[in-house]
Amino acid sequence: EVQLLESGGGLVQPGGSLRLSCAASGFTFGSYAMTWVRQGPGKGLEWVSTIYDTTHKTAYADSVKGRFTISRDNSKNTLYLQMNSLRAEDTAVYYCVKGGWRYDNWGRGTLVTVSS
């Protein structure tokens, strides 16, 4: 069974940083692209970033480009999202998602709140 467990969310002041992690199990992590999708309070889904499996090629939404960095450690079956220069509008539940175009499985998400 595929499991994706996010961690690292919390309350942070504007301009601060957080690092999200996603521990994956139940599939061959290194063979899949992985994605972060976020959902602001009461809002719809927003794609944030994708990292490919072997090339580690990355893509970012314009809203986070230059501030967020996606990475992965295939030896630890773990996906990361380093978030810097956080803004109030980054407040959201962040979902770890298996896949680069077909999002088969989603974690339960971790809440990031950016507020002073």
Burial classification of residue 34, based on how many CB atoms lie within 10 Å of its CB (0-12 exposed, 13-18 middle, 19 or more buried): buried
Residues touching another protein, count (CB under 8 A): 21
Q: Which of residues 85-104 bind another protein (CB under 8 A)?
A: 95, 100-104
Q: Is 61 in the site for another protein (CB under 8 A)?
A: yes
Minimum distance from residue 88 beta carbon to another protein (Å): 21
CB atoms within 10 A of CB 89: 10
Report CA-CA distances (Å) from 62 to 23, 27, 65, 113, 116.
Answer: 26, 30, 5, 20, 24
Minimum distance from residue 82 beta carbon to another protein (Å): 19
Q: Which of residues 17-56 bind another protein (CB under 8 A)?
A: 35, 37, 44-47, 50
Q: Footprint of another protein on this chain (CB under 8 A)? A: 35, 37, 44-47, 50, 59, 61-62, 95, 100-109
